[in-house]
Copies of this chain bind each other. A is one copy, B any other.
Amino acid sequence: VEPIPPTIEWRRGRVRLIDQRALPGELRFVECATVDELGDAIASLSVRGAPALGAAGAFGVALAAATIGNADEVRSAARRLAAARPTAVNLAWGVNRALDAWVRGGADAALAAAERIASDDVEANRTLGDIGAELVPDDARVLTHCNTGSLATVGYGTALGVVRAAHERGKRPRVWAGETRPLLQGARLTAWELDRLGIPVTVVADAMAGSLLASGDVDVVVVGADRIAANGDVANKIGTYPLAVLAREHVVPFVVAAPTSTIDLDTLTGSAIPVEERSGDEVVRIGGERIAPTGVAAANRAFDVTPSRLVTAIVTERGILRPPYADALRTASMRA
A interface residue numbers (CB < 8 A to B)? 24, 176, 178-182, 184, 187-188, 191-192, 195, 200-211, 214, 238-239, 241-242, 245-246, 249, 275, 280, 283-284, 286-287, 289, 291-293, 295-301, 304-305
Contact = CB atoms under 8 A, between A and B. Distances in A.
Given A245-B210, A292-B24, A292-B188, A204 B298 contact: yes
Contacts of A182: 205
A217 to B, nearest CB: 9
B238 A293 contact: no
B204 A207 contact: no
Please state the number of chain copies in the assembly.
2
A205 B283 contact: yes
Contacts of A238: 205, 207-208, 211
A211 B207 CA distance: 14
Nearest to A182: B205
Contact of A202 (B176, B289, B297): B297
Given A203-B297, A210-B242, A283-B179, A191 B292 contact: yes
Given A210-B245, A246-B242, A297-B202, A184 B283 contact: no
**Which of A176, A287, A297 gathers the greatest number of chain B CB atoms within 10 Å?**
A297
A305 B246 CA distance: 14
Contacts of A178: 207
B205 A296 contact: no
